[in-house]
Amino acid sequence: MFGSRYIFLYFLDSFHFYSRIIPLQLGLYYAALGHYQHAVDTLHKALFISPDNVSATVHLSKLYLDSEVSSKLRPSSNTSTSSSGASTASIARDVLSINPDVDLAAGTLAYLTKGRGWDVPEAWYYLAKAYGMQGRKQKERETLKHALVLSEKRGVREIELALGWCT
**CB distance 60 to 41 below 8 Å:** no
Q: First CA to last CA across the chain, in angstroms?
A: 26
Q: Whole-angstrom Cα distance, residue 133 to residue 149?
A: 22
Q: What is the pLDDT at residue 108?
A: 95
**CB distance 117 to 96 below 8 Å:** no
| DSSP code, position 77 | P
Number of DSSP helices (H) and strands (E) in the chain, helices first: 9, 0
Neighbours of 97 (CB within 10 A): 8
User: Could you report the per-residue pLDDT of 51-103, keeping only the tens digit for each?
Assistant: 889 999 999 999 999 988 888 886 644 444 444 445 555 544 444 456 789 99
Q: Whole-angstrom Cα distance, residue 26 to residue 135?
A: 33
Element (H, E) at 146: helix 137-153
Q: What is the CA radius of gyration of the chain?
A: 20
Hey, is 81 helix, strand or coil?
strand
Q: Is the pLDDT of residue 138 over 80?
A: yes
User: Could you report the per-residue pLDDT of 14-55, keeping only the tens digit for each?
Assistant: 555 667 788 889 999 999 999 999 999 999 999 998 888 999
Task: Please name each of the domains of the chain with its CATH number.
Answer: 2-73+97-155 (1.25.40.10)
pTM over 0.85: no
**CB distance 126 to 58 below 8 Å:** yes
Residues in the chain: 167
Of 69, 104, 112, 116, residue with least CA distance to 125: 112
